[in-house]
Structure 1
Amino acid sequence: PDIAFGEKLRVTLVALVPTMLLIFTVLGTILLGMATPTEAAACGALGSIILAAAYRNLTLPVLWTSAVKTVNISAMILLIVLGGSMFAGVFFASGGMATVQALLMDTGLSPWMILGLILLIAFIAGFVLDLISVVLIIIPVAMPIVRMLGFDEIWFCVAFLVVLQTSYLTPPLAPAIFYLRAITPPEVTLRHMYRGVVPFILAQLVVLALVLAFPEIALWLPDVMGGP
């Protein structure tokens, strides 16, 4: 039997509104300056517990599973951060940054060409490394160079992340495609997915070109949030 529109609306709101409130609790409090990211994450965790209790899913097994997954993910991220911090520390202490800067200056490349080289390295690294690893390895090395060349650091970071997103979508490696492949139906082959991702890659390239050509696109929101 057909379900009345009012019932459909009620079911949709019951499922949607709590989730949207939880998202606002995390992201909204950060954007409005009401909480730091760590505080917002704590509020999000508390909100998740409240929602689980409201949906009558708050049981000891659920809490235990959530705690174990939290510890596993946190340990993985902290291990990556530790490795990246050690790499950056050794690199700077051994004079690697001065060597890289001297090499770049000796090449005679323009600032934009050096920026393109950094983004190209990040693009290639995104094929084989996860996002956090690429950020922790490349950003400590690239940021002083970007600052020396006179580019805005926030603008560079936005362009850097757009490049990494594009790298995650680009065949033949395309980590995002392989993540998605695990949940796609058997009749959907990698060839289908390679073809399907092309429009998204082109869209990413357009976004990257716009960000590079018009830095205000990347800087508008930070400027608004930062105030005068």
Structure 2
Amino acid sequence: MTQAAIELAGLKKRFGDNEIIRGVDLAVREHERHALIGPNGAGKSTLFHLISGLYTPSAGDILLNGRSIGGLPPHLITRRGLSRSFQITTIFPRLSVQENLRIAAMSKHGRRYALFSLARNAKEVNRDTDQLMELVRLSHVRDKFAGDLTYSEQRALEIGMAMGPGADVILLDEPMAGMSREETHYMIDLIRNVTVGKTLLVVEHDMEVVFSLCDRISVLVYGELIATGRPDDIRSNARVQEAYLGEVVA
């Protein structure tokens, strides 16, 4: 049986008297592409913040490759092999594409920097930066300011920055938001390529993206998981249709 890369066990999150995440149990398998879907206000972003360390669980635990990360700060979770993007693009607009990706690549080598290894690590960072640019198909705009890129190029850059630390588990929060149909198709292909051999957990509202990209799908409604399964199973699930998909899958 495939090992779980991310495992949520009885996970809860409260803000005052409001329980936003209500005892979620979920296993995201190693090397799979897994989508988290649900209506607005379902708690998807809260769940992402819990997994990536921005929020501390009120109860339950989060395991990354079998080790507890519940309550750890984001930088320690990144060191353990998990990285994420956000709904709002978080690039450095007045730095070039190369400089943005170099910052991301440096984090992979940061703990190894010392006086006598700077030159060697600089070569490794340069190599990783070039590989990231190639991976997200931005080599042709390497010297362009990130703020001057097209919207889809900025999203590709952000994915590259999420990949920079060398994480094996990637969380992407609505990577297709605001894109045209042509841009969306391009980004589906890019994400499929950059996540080969990695584990992907993605929040996405575009059902075409979810059904074409992901191996399994989990449906979150009012802080509770109501279903997890392969795309065809989710598409035909009467409870999911009633709670969320409706006419989308008709």
More helix by share: 1
Larger Rg: 1
- TM, length-normalised to structure 1: 0.26
Larger relative contact order, structure 1 or 2 (CA cutoff 8 Å, min sep 6): 2
More strand by share: 2
- TM, length-normalised to structure 2: 0.25
